[in-house]
Structure 1
C-alpha cells in the first residue's frame, strides 16, 4: 500500500501511531447548516465589532461583553456539536479560526493602545505564522489539518479571560490595582500554553509528514 492509499483509506502512512488525530477529521460530517456552526460564524462576525469597540470609541465595557459572548459560544458550540451529533468538518475549521482571530485582533488592538508590549504580540503572532506554514506542509503531504490540542483550548480559555482583565487593569484606580496581577498571571500562563500547544502541533505534523515520506519510499 502506498502512502496515498493509506490516506485515502483513513489509515496513517506506514501504520504510524498518532495519525488517528488527523484521520479523525475526515470522519466528520459535511453538514454546514448546524447550530454549532452558526455559533462559530456568530463568533467570527464579532471580531470586527470587537476591534471597532476597542479602537474607535474605546468602549471597553462593550468590548468585554463581546469577548464574554465569544468565550461562551466557544464553549457552547463544542458541547452542542457532541450533544446533537452535529460535528462537522466546517465546524472543526471555524472553531480554531475564530479563536485565533480573536487573539490576534485583541493583541493588535492592545499594542495600538499600549496595553501590552510589542514583543508579546511578536511572539504570539510568530507562532501563528509557523502554524500557517505547518498547515501548508500538511496539505502538500496529503493530510488534513490536525485536531485542536487540549493545551491549545486551555491556552485560549486563559487568554480570553486575561484580555478583559488587561483592559480593566489599564488604569490607576482600585479596580485596576486588583485586576493587574490576575491579568498578568493569566496572560503569562495562557501565552506559555499557547506556545507549547503550537510546538506540539508542529512536532505531530512533522511526524506525519516524515511517516508519509518513509512509507512512500518503502512502497
Structure 2
C-alpha cells in the first residue's frame, strides 16, 4: 500500500461490521436517489433541493459519526462514495435533460468514474480493495453537490437566478477540476500499490 494508504490505515481502524449508524445513514442516502430522480424529473425543484440538502448534511454526518463512534467499516467505505456518485450522476442527467447544464459535463464526470471503475477492477485482480478516499476527491464531490442546487436556483427570477448561476458554475468548474485531480492521484496511488505487489507475495486480504 502506498504511503497515503498506510497513513490512513494507521489513524483509522477499519472493521468488517455491517450494521452501524454511519452505514444506516449511507443506505438512507442511497434510497433518496430514486426519490430525487422523480422530483427533478417532475420539475419539483423545491422538494428536489430539500432532498439534496438532506443528502449533503447526511454525507457530512455519517463521516463524523464513523470516526467519533469508531465505526469506520469496509462496507461504509463503499456505500458512502457510491451514494455520492449516484447523486451526482442522477442530478447531472436530470439537469442535462432539462437543458440546465450541457451534456458534455455529464460525459466529463462519467468518464472519470469509468476510469476509477477500471482501476478498481485491476486492483481487485491483485487482491486489493478500494483505495482510501482522498481529500481532493471529497472536496470535488462537495463542490459538485453545492453546484447542482445552485444551478437549479439559476432558473429562478433575478437577482437570485443570476447570482446562483455564477456561483453554481464556479462550484461546478472547481468540482470538475478537483474530481479529475483526485482521479490522477488514485491512478498514481494504484500504480505504487501494483508495483509493490510485483515484488511481494500476493495479499491474503483486501487492502484498506
TM-score (norm 2): 0.90
Question: Which residue is 1:33 aligned to?
Answer: 19
Match 1:44 to one of 30, 55, 67:
30
1:26–1:73 CA distance, 2 compared to 1 (3 A): closer
**Any unmatched runs of 5+ in structure 2?**
202-208
Question: Structure 2 vs 1, CA of residues 17 and 189 (structure 1 numbering), >3 Å: closer, same or farther?
Answer: closer
Q: Which structure 1 residue ranges, 5 or more long, are not aligned?
A: 1-11
Number of equivalent positions: 202
TM-align CA RMSD: 2.1
Return the offset for 1:141: 1.2
Please say which structure displays the higher CA radius of gyration: 1
The residue aligned with 2:120 is 135
Cα distance in 1, alignment partners of residues 4 and 28 from structure 2:
33
CA contact (8 A) 1:22 1:146 kept: no
User: Which segments of structure 1 move beyond 3 Å, counting only runs of 4 or more?
Assistant: 16-19, 21-27
Q: Deviation digits for residues 149-195 of structure 1, max 9, x if unmatched?
A: 01111111111111000001125533111211111101111111011
Superposed displacement of residue 22, structure 1? 8.1
Query: For residue 141 of structure 2, what is the aligned residue in structure 1?
Result: 156
Question: Residue in 2 aligned with 1:178?
Answer: 163
Higher alpha-carbon deviation: 74-83 or 205-214: 205-214
Give the deviation of 1:203 after TM superposition: 1.3
1:206 corresponds, among 170, 191, 200, to: 191
Range that drifts further, 59-68 or 85-94: 85-94
